[in-house]
Structure 1
């Protein structure tokens, strides 16, 4: 897996010395360039200096926690973020995803799993087939990998963009959450619909005129979601 993905620059924000050192070493061996930070404040400072391709962010940090770090990054940047959480609690996961994270992994982290998730996220930004389709005020340009609304480019994360691209490949067709998990997140396991629902919510906030009454990305009750075909 990941043979077609170039070496990536990662920012690892983890306060536990042993975990940080272990992950830094393991990810370097997997072909990544890793910059490590031991706190949220340090991580935010390094973000501006290093300009990484992806951020691996621990939730439990001294000072400002991972949720707040994620929120601050999302105010100005759409870089991919993978959260590391010590517990698989619904609240922790949901808060992290609503803060703007693209994916999450529960500790203890297996480096090979983390590497696979990193490469999956980075593949979401690869170019697609060359065509452009308008859905009302929203235009998806696959060649440029951009989405515009009323002529202005929307700032989407790679995951949000890939989700929209996958839905737009099958306009009018309902896709289940399990299908979307496989297509967008490349997850081998199924059942974690929180990833899909949180990403749809964030995407609607950007593409819909009234996110609470979506006209483009429709919920198909008991199934999943569909993108209404262009008029």
Structure 2
């Protein structure tokens, strides 16, 4: 996946984001040296920079401008300010996206994924767990030579669960993932998609794979 560099002065937030990104297969680095932060970016050659605006020494806009003088690395500006002027300034300085705090982690991951896809034309990698293989690019799940096509939402659900195999994912987090599409997804719609996904897995001989943890969510 991608090497992400954080420019954020709250170490706790850095550690939380580092854990989140690593959980989704990304590598993540940060530094508390804000005087030489642009040099730190150049030395480490990340594939994406997540840049806070309110920083010591130099603000995020200045850092964005300085990075752009030396690199075309994708930059996502993160700020607690929510105004069209801030967003316009970010875009004019060469940022690739603009995210306001507080943000939903799943939405942040989706925005990062979208920027990476535009920048590098990433091809989704196949996911495998317990003999089940998901091909996100084709929207197909297979097992022992049998395969079945999934809808976009079924594929998103299975991808999220397989990326976090062995971890219970709440219904809320799954719905947040599905809300990235144009289609509104409510609690009942999620249940319908889960049931259809199970039936499709059963159609290729996969049973007891997508499990319910009552009151907590789902796990594979």
What residue ranges of structure 1 are gaps of 5+ in the alignment? Answer: 1-6, 129-185, 190-231
With normalisation by structure 2, the TM-score equals 0.52
Whole-angstrom CA distance in 2 between matches of 1:55 and 1:187: 25
**Cα distance in 1 between the residues matched to 2:114 and 2:60:** 22
Q: Would you say 1:87 and 2:81 are equivalent positions?
A: yes
Match of 2:149 in 1: none
Select the residue among 58, 68, 79 that pairs with 1:64. 58
Please give the secondary structure, in 1, of the residue aligned with 2:35.
helix
Q: How does 1:24-39 map to 2 (within 5 A)?
A: 24-38=18-32
What are the equivalent positions in structure 2 for 1:83-122 lying under 5 Å apart?
83-122=77-116
Q: Does 1:76 align with 2:83?
A: no
Aligned to 1:50: 44
Give structure 2 stretches of 5+ with no counterpart. 123-179, 184-220
Look up the SS of the partner of 1:24 in the other structure.
helix
TM-superposed CA distance for 1:43, in Å, is 2.7
Q: How many positions carry a matched residue from both structures?
A: 126
The TM-score, its normalising length taken from structure 1, stands at: 0.50
Paired residues of 1:13 and 1:39 also in contact (CA < 8 A): no
* Map of 2:14 onto structure 1: 20
Q: 1:162-173 to 2 correspondence within 5 Å? A: none
Cα shift readout 1:24-69 (whole Å, capped 9, x = no counterpart):
1111111110011235434312212210001000011001110000
Q: Is the 8 A contact 2:74 2:119 kept in 1?
A: no
CA RMSD of aligned residues (A): 2.3
Contact 1:10 1:32 in 2 (8 A): yes
Q: Determine which structure has more spread, i.e. the larger CA radius of gyration.
A: 2
